[in-house]
Amino acid sequence: MEKIIGLKEFREKLPDYERQVAEGISFIVVKKSRPVFRISPVDQQSEDLWEEVIDFTKLHKGGVAIEDLLSRL
């Protein structure tokens, strides 16, 4: 069963909800008593669809500035 939380609470406690989602808990986020979106863990099957193309942190500690990247395209 999904838990229902307010958007403001979700924003204020994002790290807590991130941890709970990683543990398998799903949430429906509401604003003014209306559902806005659902946040739920990614299942293993969905994770297998993602492919790492490049990790910019391997090129430069902290990544690469978007301006530098775009200027080289």
pLDDT of amino acid 12: 97
pLDDT at res. 66 = 81
- In the chain, what are the domain boundaries? 3-71
Q: Is the pTM of this model over 0.85?
A: no
Residue 44 φ then ψ, to 5°: -60, -35
The rounded distance, in Å, linking the Cα atoms of 27 and 13 is 13
Measured CA to CA, the distance from residue 51 to residue 61 in angstroms comes to 21
CATH of domain 3-71: 3.40.1620.10
Q: In this predicted structure, what is the pLDDT of residue 44?
A: 60
Q: How far is residue 72's CA from residue 61's CA, in Å, rounded to a whole number?
A: 19
Can you give the pLDDT of all 73 residues of the chain as single tens digits? 789 999 999 999 999 999 999 999 999 999 999 999 999 998 766 667 778 787 777 777 778 788 887 898 8
Alpha-helical regions (H) of the chain: 7-12, 14-22, 44-47, 66-71
